[in-house]
Structure 1
């Protein structure tokens, strides 16, 4: 089996005390590939540095919707520099929309989302899309730009999953699949063709059962994969192998 954690945040402060140890031990736990998702400019730089240090680690660079207010005006030029400086930076992300809190500046989020989708098109790169409580606007904008990439940590309905698949994108699922209240996510998973499915942890967040509430890491992806394999009616080894190949194809990893 080749396990690919297609979305992680090892630059997160939650790993400050043991980041190097956790990353160094992942291959011994069966993790062959890791994609680092960025939340802001600091993450984007740190991701590139980590990817340069570990053979099995790849990176993305981008501004999360929750970070738009703290982002410099020349951020697009800075992202271009980070991406150009390291061939292991393989995606623009994570980007998107988050309307969870009423005081979020939705118009600014939409502008940043559009600008980064344009950057990805300019650089011919896939995107990692975050969408929370913003399904209608997210789908509308994705239909307009039609990027390559993934809607990660999918929390939408089965109907929304079908719309994403129609756009030719991938859908990533986290440990949420293992939660007792995961009926919506499981119904969405059932609609995702196996060749459009990705496995991810979103660590240090979204730890699956029986680790819910703890800091997650890539080794926990096996629990999410087991639940996904149950839904798909295939052996977990087969699901892990297929989703690894899907991730490698999307990110252009040979």
Structure 2
């Protein structure tokens, strides 16, 4: 039983054949999915997909790489979507200084406004951070909002800092890459009670399918690698990461 906490079945590459990819994932033991938005249109599609299946949920938000032209009206639309009962998080939101699609000032403004939406609606957040961990930590530590560090690529030491302020660490395909020492160190060192698994498909396909288009069912290989690195059974990792996801998304009964 797995909970894929971050899939983009709403992406151009996967949306049309989403039923097939969902079935493939079910066949690999995926029980729950969160489809994550990255702009207004993909957020609307995430909500649509969530309403097509009882076991699929949505996150809505505008990512730092998509916020260059974001208006207050766009953010109002995100907040309206976030009130849908199938929406379990605001995201993906955050900071990305690697691609620099939008200025730092614009990214920070958009990030803070969406954190305020999450706080108003008592929702967790799904955080995208790249080459911006210190600024991300500084903003989150003052926000009063908790959530997920999605597709985490920072250091083990930084991961512990995020955990202390209420964040789970979500690992994706890179933990399976042969020379990816940093995510492997994170997987080994972070307590299983604070780990989540995801694919971030259609990107970052895990071994043994690296180089091909990613899909939600490949989260199996992420969980399998974490189990190997931690010296635990696959079943234990699947069970605990699912419990963690149900907790952070406030789905735990």
Q: Is the 8 A contact 2:68 2:102 kept in 1?
A: no
Q: Is the 8 A contact 1:8 1:202 kept in 2?
A: yes
TM-score by length of 2: 0.95
Give the aligned partner of residue 7 of structure 1: 6
Give the aligned partner of residue 55 of structure 2: 56
Question: In 2, Cα distance between the equivalents of 1:182 and 1:26?
Answer: 25
How far did 1:159 drift?
A: 1.1
Question: In 2, Cα distance between the equivalents of 1:103 and 1:97?
Answer: 10
Q: Does the C-alpha gap of structure 1 residues 102 and 118 become closer, same or farther in structure 2, counting only changes over 3 Å?
A: closer
Question: Equivalent of 1:204, from 202, 216, 227?
Answer: 202
Q: Is the 8 A contact 1:5 1:33 kept in 2?
A: yes
- Unaligned residue ranges in structure 1 (runs of 5+): none
How far did 1:22 drift?
A: 1.9
Give the aligned partner of residue 33 of structure 2: 34
Q: Is the 8 A contact 1:64 1:130 kept in 2?
A: yes
**1:33-72 CA-partner distances (Å, limit 9, x unpaired):** 0001110000111111110011111001100000111323
Aligned ranges 1:1-254 → 2 under 5 Å? 2-84=1-83, 86-102=84-100, 104-254=102-252
How far did 1:110 drift?
A: 0.5
- Unaligned residue ranges in structure 2 (runs of 5+): none
Question: In 2, Cα distance between the equivalents of 1:3 and 1:16?
Answer: 21
How far did 1:15 drift?
A: 1.2
Question: In 1, Cα distance between the equivalents of 2:101 and 2:205?
Answer: 28
How far did 1:82 drift?
A: 1.0
How far did 1:28 drift?
A: 3.1
How far did 1:102 drift?
A: 4.8
TM-score by length of 1: 0.95
How far did 1:210 drift?
A: 1.0
Q: Tell me the SS of whatever aligns to 1:69.
A: coil
How far did 1:135 drift?
A: 1.1
**1:145-171 CA-partner distances (Å, limit 9, x unpaired):** 142100010000111111111112100
